[in-house]
């Protein structure tokens, strides 16, 4: 075994050791904060931020109104979510993201625009879903371009697995939808296979396959660049049936 392979194995063992028994789908990397991102955290997190420790929420109390609720896990730098906030002012959005620079950027931009249909958790999505969202409370759940963990030994870290899919199903309203998107073909097939086998869901296409990007999912700059290079993007939308 080469030195590099030995180091990889040691890294994997160390990585597993610092996680609890549940395998996490993310690695927390703390990037440098720009001045604007820091301002977003300092000035706007007190208003937009929700806390895992506060437990179960009442969405109508959080937003001060009754409105369709959209939840997005892993919004990254928040570009597409910001577009949705502006395009759908009659919807309420809750974003869940662990990386502080992305949270800061989104909050800075949303705060400067005086948008009030956003709230944010900066914590593990599984814990937030389990502890903070009432069952049958979400109208649309979004998971766009999650980490594909392309190496076979890391496939166990992919967030789209039967236990996670079941958690999402419980939190969706009957008739609510789970929208997934990825630019990795192998992960797209994995997503489709997991979702098609999941009880209580129905693929919104009669063929049980992929759908064209709906207008509700903004086209990202990353995606536009990929299209020019011939890279594919695959969307899946499933409805909760029971």
The catalytic residue positions are 147
* Helix 125-132 with 162-171: angle, nearest 10 deg: 40
Write the CB contacts of 163 (distance below 8 Å, at least 6 apart in sequence).
Answer: none
Where are the strands (E) in the chain, listed by range? 49-50, 69-73, 92-96, 118-121, 138-144, 172-182, 201-203, 234-240
101 closest CA partner among 170, 24, 38, 14: 38
Q: Is 105 helix (H, G, I), strand (E, B) or coil?
A: helix
List, in sequence order, every beta strand (DSSP E) within 42-161: 49-50, 69-73, 92-96, 118-121, 138-144
Token representation of residue 225: 């660049």
């Amino acid at each position: 075994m080469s030195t590099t392979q030995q180091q990889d194995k040691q890294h994997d063992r160390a990585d597993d050791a610092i996680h609890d028994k549940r395998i996490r789908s993310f690695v927390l990397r703390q990037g440098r904060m720009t001045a604007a991102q820091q301002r977003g955290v300092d000035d706007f997190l007190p208003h937009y931020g929700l806390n895992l420790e506060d437990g179960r929420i009442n969405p109508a109390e959080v937003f001060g109104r009754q409105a369709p609720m959209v939840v997005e896990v892993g919004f990254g730098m928040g570009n597409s979510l910001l577009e949705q906030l502006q395009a759908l002012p009659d919807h309420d959005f809750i974003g869940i993201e662990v990386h502080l620079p992305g949270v800061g950027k989104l909050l800075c931009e949303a705060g400067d625009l005086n948008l009030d249909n956003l709230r944010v958790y900066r914590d593990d999505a599984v814990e937030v879903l389990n502890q903070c969202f009432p069952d049958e409370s979400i109208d649309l759940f979004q998971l766009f371009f999650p980490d594909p963990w392309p190496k076979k030994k890391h496939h166990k870290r992919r967030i789209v697995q039967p236990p996670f899919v079941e958690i999402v199903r419980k939190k969706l309203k009957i008739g609510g939808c789970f929208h997934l998107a990825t630019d990795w073909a192998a992960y797209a097939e994995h997503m489709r296979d997991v979702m098609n086998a999941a009880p209580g869901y129905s693929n919104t296409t009669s063929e049980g396959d992929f759908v064209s990007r709906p207008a509700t999912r903004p086209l990202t700059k990353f995606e536009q660049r990929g299209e020019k290079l011939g890279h594919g993007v695959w969307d899946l939308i499933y409805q909760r049936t029971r």
